[in-house]
């Protein structure tokens, strides 16, 4: 009996030190990799438990000006630590800075890294540099859409569908044939790859509504720039009923409408979720915003990079399922996979 107890206690101790299996992720996988227009299938994705070696990743972002990319950063940091890999992060400083990002891509090739994770500022502006560095290491596209030349894998959702989700939020309130409403549209920086797809999806969905776009303002997604754009529209088109656009625009609009005593008369819809947008929805200041679960996208990009290095890629293109947040469902959906904790600050280097 003593011998059996010894075996039992030893077994329990062994179980206690075994690492817990990584939690599976609920993803959507396009039937045709890198084709956002192809049908998607749900997948319960089992991430790797640990990297085979402490690989070194080079990570490039368009910027870290808003909470969206901060949340992507948080996801990457957490996954790099979990897998036991390191990364160095560089940001281009904004979507107009294509030349800077091209130089950063080239520099990653000179640093003897094991993989590149690229959040592009342009759909195909860096294609030549990507093709060159792909000869040296796997390239993982993250979040923003880009040409698939030289890409090993992609962690992203359809930005066309993100735009469409925002358009449907308007169409549900004002279906075609109902009294017309006026809308101001703030897509983001003109020329950025993701903006083209967001706008395409938004306009297609909006065609099923009675809304009329009476003003369009393109601009960088820094909050300061969006404040200027929103104020310009309100000065020029005071009878507008809706302000629709990027997360920083929606955040800025909440404060501006409050200052002008227009809260409740003019409504706000965002094309994606940030911390300010999330708070705005909970407080009833913003009607709706689709979330593409930026934290999870960051995690997936790092996991795919490790798989690509180790020759273990089974899925080349995946992303979370898009969910439109409203005051009615926001508590049920939560923020864990969409937003970094409020205390999180950008991390440019992870060492393992």
Residues pairing with 25 in the sheet: 45
65 pLDDT higher than 80: yes
Q: What CA–CA distance (Å, rounded) separates 145 from 193?
A: 6
Return the pLDDT at 67: 86
Phi-psi label, residue 177: left if phi above 0, alpha if psi -120 to 50, beta otherwise: left
* pTM confidence score: 0.87
| CB contact at 8 A, 298 and 76 | yes
Return the pLDDT at 17: 36
Return the pLDDT at 191: 78
The helix/strand/coil state of 289 is strand
Mean pLDDT, range 120-138, rounded to an integer: 95
Return the pLDDT at 21: 66
Q: Name the CA dihedral angle for 164, 170, 171, 177, rounded to a multiple of 10 degrees.
A: -140
300-to-194, 276, 350 alpha-carbon distances in Å: 19, 24, 16
Return the pLDDT at 86: 98
For 3-25, the pLDDT digits (tens) are 333 333 333 333 333 344 689 99
243 pLDDT higher than 80: yes
């Amino acid at each position: 009996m003593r011998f059996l107890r010894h075996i039992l206690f030893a077994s329990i101790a062994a179980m206690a030190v075994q690492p817990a299996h990584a939690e599976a992720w609920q993803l959507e996988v396009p039937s045709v990799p890198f084709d956002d227009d192809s049908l998607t299938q749900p997948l319960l994705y089992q991430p790797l438990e640990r990297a085979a070696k402490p690989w070194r990743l080079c990570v490039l972002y368009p910027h870290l000006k808003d909470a969206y990319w901060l949340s992507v950063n948080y996801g990457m940091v957490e996954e790099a630590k979990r897998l036991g890999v390191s990364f160095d992060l560089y940001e281009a400083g904004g979507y107009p800075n294509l030349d800077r990002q091209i130089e950063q891509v080239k520099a990653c090739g000179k640093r003897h890294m094991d993989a590149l994770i690229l959040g592009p500022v342009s759909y195909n502006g860096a294609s030549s540099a990507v093709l060159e560095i792909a000869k040296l290491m796997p390239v993982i596209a993250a979040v923003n859409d880009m040409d698939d030349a030289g890409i090993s894998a992609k962690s992203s959702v359809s930005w066309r569908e993100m735009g469409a989700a925002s358009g449907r939020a308007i169409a549900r309130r004002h279906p075609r044939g109902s009294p017309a409403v006026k809308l101001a549209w703030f897509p983001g920086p003109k020329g950025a790859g993701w903006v083209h797809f967001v706008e395409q999806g938004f306009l297609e969905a909006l065609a099923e509504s009675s809304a009329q776009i009476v003003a369009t303002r393109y601009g960088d997604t820094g909050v300061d720039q969006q404040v200027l754009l929103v104020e310009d529209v309100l000065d020029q088109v005071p009878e507008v009923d809706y302000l629709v656009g990027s997360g920083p625009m929606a955040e800025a609009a909440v404060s501006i409408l409050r200052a002008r005593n227009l809260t409740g008369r003019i409504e706000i819809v965002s094309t994606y979720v940030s911390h300010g947008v999330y708070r705005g929805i909970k407080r009833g200041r913003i009607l709706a915003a689709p979330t593409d679960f930026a934290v999870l996208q960051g995690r997936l990009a790092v996991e795919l990079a490790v798989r690509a290095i180790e020759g273990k890629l089974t899925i080349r293109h995946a992303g979370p399922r898009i969910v439109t947040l409203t005051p009615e469902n926001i508590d049920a959906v939560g923020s864990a996979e969409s937003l970094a904790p409020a205390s999180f600050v950008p991390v440019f280097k992870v060492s393992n």
